[in-house]
Amino acid sequence: MAGLKRTTRGARLPRVCWSLAASSVERLLAAARAIRPPADRFVEARLDYLEQPELGPQAIEGLRRARIPAIATLRSAVAGGNYGGPLEDQLRILTECGAAGAAIIDLEIESAERAARPARARLRRHARLLISFHDYHATPEALPAVLRRLKRFKADYYKIATLSGSHADNTALLKLNAVGRGTVLALGMGEIAMPTRVLAVARGAPFTYGAVSADQALAPGQITGEDLRSLYRIGRLSERTAVYGVIGNPIAHSLSPAVHNAAFSALRRDAVYLAFQVEALDDFLGALPAYRLAGFSVTMPHKQGMAQAVDWADAEARDIAAVNTVVVRDGRLHGYNTDLAGITAPLEKRLKLRGRRVLVAGGGGAARAAAFAVARRGARVFVVSRRLEQAAELAEQVGGEAVEREALSSARFDAIIHATPLGMHPDTRSCFFSPGDLNAPLLFETVYTPMETALVRMARSRGLNVILGLEMFIEQAARQLELWTNARAPRRIMERAAARALGGK
Residues belonging to the active site: 303
Closest CA to 361 of 312, 320, 315, 395: 395
Alpha-carbon distance 212 to 216, whole Å?
Answer: 6
Alpha-carbon distance 17 to 136, whole Å?
Answer: 20
Q: Could you count the other beta carbons within 10 Å of the beta carbon of residue 118? A: 7
Closest CA to 233 of 187, 273, 292: 273
Closest CA to 375 of 346, 343, 404, 407: 343
Q: What is the 3-state secondary structure (H, E, C) of 446-459?
A: CCCCCCCCHHHHHH
Alpha-carbon distance 236 to 202, whole Å?
Answer: 9
Q: What is the 3-state secondary structure (H, E, C) of 52-100?
A: CHHHHHHHHHHHHHCCCCEEEECCEHHHCCCECCCHHHHHHHHHHHHHH
The β-bridge relationship of strands 357-361 and 380-384 is parallel
Closest CA to 477 of 346, 362, 361, 372: 346
Give residues with Cβ within 8 angstroms of 104, minimum separation 6. Answer: 69, 70, 71, 72, 127, 128, 129, 130, 156, 157
Alpha-carbon distance 170 to 284, whole Å?
Answer: 10
Torsion of CA 251, 257, 258, 259, to 10 degrees: 110
H-only helix segments in 292-364: 303-309, 315-320, 339-348
Please tell me whether residue 129 adopts helix, strand or coil conformation.
strand
Alpha-carbon distance 450 to 463, whole Å?
Answer: 20
Provide the CB-side half-sphere exposure for 488 (13 A, CA).
2
Question: What are the φ/ψ torsions at residue 443 (nearest 5 degrees)?
Answer: -115, 130
Alpha-carbon distance 204 to 198, whole Å?
Answer: 11
Please tell me whether residue 245 adopts helix, strand or coil conformation.
strand
